Amino acid sequence: MIMHKEISRKKISFIIVNYQSADILHGCVLSIKQSIPEQWLYEVIIVNNDPQKITSEISHVADHIIELEKNYGYGYANNRGSEIATGEIICFLNPDAAFLSTSIAAIFVQFNDDAVGIVAPRLVTRGEKTQEWSTGVDMTLQELVRNHIGISRSVQLWQVRNNTRVAWVSGAAMFIRATLLRDLHGFDENFFLYYEDIDLCRRAREIGTKIIYCPHVEVRHTSGASSCDQMQQKKQYYRSQDYYFKKHFHPLIGYIVRILRVPYRFVK
């Protein structure tokens, strides 16, 4: 039987990686302040992947700012932020994300179960619809094929309204125990962008950790706000996809993934 314990006074570290999103950072941080219960302790850490330094206006609303002076990738930047984080729970949050719920307490109730290591809210678009690919089932070759032909099993998870155990959640708004993150040695920095969240969740599940999708807490996410070159974005996505399948599956699977991608490019 799992013993429940008080979690409301645990400290939370919010880590926000900035790249070409300085103009929306303030709104992201403000949404944290508006949604977190007053008695809770928290800190905001901004890791700047942009060569342009964070302005003094933004620095006043953050507890720590790490200037990397170059874009080293999403996972790399989050790892640098987590190295100085003092919270027992860490929230990775995109700068183009903002909490809509008046309180995020429902997230932390899930951590009363010691087997739960990662929890994520529901990501919604500007039209208040659930964002596609914000959570999903195990990413395998079979599931990739199903995605390509429009019968992905993950679609069912986007519509759930109760807390649900899932295979992975988006790194755009992900809460994780600091101890688990250390056990996993953080994000795999070989992923520059994309799939690093799916990989982290997969490694967490491999050691018996539960991942919970909590749709009652909502976060508006303007997907791709820091990306402007769609062609480069797609190349980076495929590069990360190749590395993910190479890392977790037989080399033959990776070869099949690349073959499947050829006609898919023309369709899309």
Angle, helices 251-267/230-248, rounded to nearest 10 degrees: 160
Tell me which fold the domain 12-226 belongs to.
Spore Coat Polysaccharide Biosynthesis Protein SpsA; Chain A (3.90.550)
**Max Cα–Cα distance, the chain, nearest Å:** 54
Mean pLDDT of all residues in 8-25: 86
Spatial CA neighbour of 237 closest among 150, 144, 169: 144
Contact 217, 106 (CB under 8 A): yes
Spatial CA neighbour of 193 closest among 20, 46, 75: 75
Q: Is the pLDDT of residue 227 over 60?
A: no
Q: Is the pLDDT of residue 7 over 50?
A: no
pLDDT of residue 268: 47
The values of phi and psi at residue 86, to 5°, are: -110, 0
Mean pLDDT score across all residues of the chain: 90
Q: pLDDT band at 38, cuts 50/70/90?
A: confident
| Tens digit of each residue's pLDDT (9 = 90 or more) over 130-181 | 999 999 999 999 999 998 888 999 999 999 999 999 999 999 999 999 999 9
Residue 212 parent element (H or E): strand 210-221
Poorest-pLDDT segment among 6-15, 77-86, 181-190: 6-15
CA dist 4 to 11, 102, 103, 179, 229, Å? 17, 24, 20, 18, 47
Mean pLDDT of all residues in 90-112: 92
Give the burial string for 22-59 (b: 16+ CB within 10 Å, else e). bebbbebbebbeebbeeebebbbbbbbbbeeebeeebe
Contact 68, 39 (CB under 8 A): no
pLDDT of residue 231: 83
Count CA atoms closer than 13 A to 71's CA, side-chain side. 13
Classified as helix, coil or strand, 124 is: strand
Other Cβ atoms closer than 10 A to 17:
29
Q: What percent of the chain has pLDDT over 90?
A: 70
Q: pLDDT band at 263, cuts 50/70/90?
A: low
pLDDT of residue 224: 59
Q: pTM score, two decimals?
A: 0.91
| pLDDT, greater one: 62 or 81 | 81
Other Cβ atoms closer than 10 A to 150:
7
